[in-house]
Amino acid sequence: MKDEQFDEYIKSKLREEPVLTFGDNIDETINKAMKKAKKAKFRATRMIAAAIVFLGLGATATVLLQGQQDQPKMSQKNENIQANKEKLSQLAAVDVEREKERLVSEGYLLEAGSDLPEVSGPSSSALKDVRYTSTLKDYIYNSRSTVKGKVLGVKYIIGEHSAYTKAKFLVEESYSGLYKPGDIVTVVRAGAIITHYEMIIKEEIDKKFNIPEAELEQAKQKMVVVDNWGGEMIFPDESMILFIGDRVETDDLNDEAYYVSGPVVKFKGKEILIPDSRMEEGYIFEEFFFTKQLSVFVEKLASIVKEKENYSKEKAIEAAYNFLSEQDRQQITNLENSSVRFSSRGIYYKTPKNVIVVTFMLKNDQPLTVILKEEYQLYKITK
């Protein structure tokens, strides 16, 4: 195509541009824009875009110059803005003060005590093998939901086997799971702050030793931390990221409560509060507290959540079940309640990385375990 023909072609395309307003002298305006576009050495569709730039229509030109690759970015940005608006709207709908009044009537504490005992304690030996090899990815994959928010109130419960903290948690942001901003979730975490007297009764120490009455009375004035297994306690008005696990039974059977697994990641403003490493000694400390910047932690968390989109406990159970013999299948008591656990580092470092362990309970009360590799392929079946 000759230069004259090319110029006429560009002019015709410019005239077709619906957003252009040329004024009275269309050809003169286009010619000036064309000359400037030629100096910029643009050709073809870029020539059209360049001409539009020089005609003063920057926004339209930008779209043409950058192509459609930027359109998804703009779309994503708009979606993020809309999501933030919805989140703020959902949070604004929560009457926090009224909720706190209700919690007080139910026996919840809205403030941490002024004279808190030292929060420390031995790690549970029963959990060490799981905790020492568990990564951030493991807790995200194995949790029911991963959320960010604030503790509204706590209640310390002395259960049949151990003491625990029951907390009302306001979800401000949900990274995975069914919760949404504005939801108030009842969560349970091991450990409670009780009187020394309550601990004596709980552990039946008074039945093993003859403790003087005066000493028992004195024990009622002293607070202690029990059953926290080396992990941090959670207190009212603290902001944190939680990994919420399965439903658990509490003192109130009508209260739908869920267990908090893994360490709690507390933050204030934009900064993560790094705990004493002894407090979370049962976990791979650097997996959770590798940065003080909340945004950096959330970015890593979000990338793992994205990976989790291809993971499904239901799919793992189905795949494991299909690898069993018909005889084994008939011995399974409750297929839906089968245990599923993801392990990024493998089981005791003896299996491949990123395995899924599916455990079925049989009619003889014995477990049948199927270990799956990536892509839900069989690695091993053990009884």
| pLDDT one-digit tens code per residue, 183-194 | 999 999 988 999
- Looking at the predicted structure, is the pLDDT value of residue 368 above 90? yes
Tell me how far the alpha carbon of residue 313 is from its chain's centroid.
17
**Mean pLDDT for the chain overall:** 79
Q: What percent of the chain is predicted at pLDDT more than 70?
A: 68
Tell me which of 145-159, 214-228, 290-304 is least confident: 214-228
pLDDT band at 255 (very low <50, low <70, confident <90, very high): confident
Cα(172)–Cα(146) distance, integer angstroms: 11
pLDDT band at 57 (very low <50, low <70, confident <90, very high): very low
Per the listing, tokens 């919840």 go with 108
Q: Tell me how many degrees the CA angle 355-360-363 measures, rounded to the nearest 5.
A: 160
Residue 132: predicted pLDDT: 45
Q: Distances in Å between the alpha carbon of 246 and those of 77, 259, 309, 329, 337?
A: 34, 6, 19, 25, 11
Q: Tell me how many degrees the CA angle 172-307-90 measures, rounded to the nearest 5.
A: 20
- Looking at the predicted structure, is the pLDDT value of residue 280 above 80? no
- Looking at the predicted structure, is the pLDDT value of residue 277 above 90? no
What average pLDDT does this structure show over 20-35?
A: 57
Q: How many residues does the chain have?
A: 383
What average pLDDT does this structure show over 265-273?
A: 95
Residue 369: predicted pLDDT: 96
- Between 203 and 277, the more confident residue is 203
Helix runs in the chain, H state only: 3-16, 26-39, 44-54, 58-66, 70-92, 96-105, 125-132, 136-142, 196-202, 205-208, 213-219, 285-288, 294-308, 313-322, 326-331
Cα(103)–Cα(105) distance, integer angstroms: 5
Residue 189: predicted pLDDT: 92
| pLDDT one-digit tens code per residue, 79-138 | 556 666 666 677 777 888 999 999 999 999 998 876 667 554 444 434 444 444 588 999
Across 159-285, the runs of DSSP E, i.e. the strands, are 163-176, 184-190, 192-195, 223-226, 239-248, 257-268, 271-272
- Looking at the predicted structure, is the pLDDT value of residue 58 above 60? no
Residue 3: predicted pLDDT: 60
- Between 232 and 165, the more confident residue is 165
| pLDDT one-digit tens code per residue, 204-251 | 888 888 888 888 889 888 888 888 775 788 999 999 999 999 888 877
- Looking at the predicted structure, is the pLDDT value of residue 25 above 80? no
CA atoms within 13 A on the CB side of 263: 31
| pLDDT one-digit tens code per residue, 298-326 | 999 999 999 999 899 999 999 999 999 99
b/e per residue 323-335 (b: at least 16 CB within 10 A): bbeeebeeebeee
Max mean pLDDT range (63-72, 153-162, 296-305): 296-305
- Token pair for residue 318? 């189905």
DSSP string, 24-63: S-HHHHHHHHHHHHHHTT--HHHHHHHHHHHTT-HHHHHH
- Token pair for residue 341? 């656990």
pLDDT band at 20 (very low <50, low <70, confident <90, very high): very low
Residue 72: predicted pLDDT: 63
Residue 127: predicted pLDDT: 42
Tell me which of 63-72, 204-213, 263-272, 309-318 is least confident: 63-72
Residue 204: predicted pLDDT: 85
Residue 249: predicted pLDDT: 80
Q: Tell me how many degrees the CA angle 44-49-51 measures, rounded to the nearest 5.
A: 95
Cα(178)–Cα(173) distance, integer angstroms: 11
Tell me how far the alpha carbon of residue 219 is from its chain's centroid.
40
Residue 22: predicted pLDDT: 47
- 0.75 surpassed by pTM: no
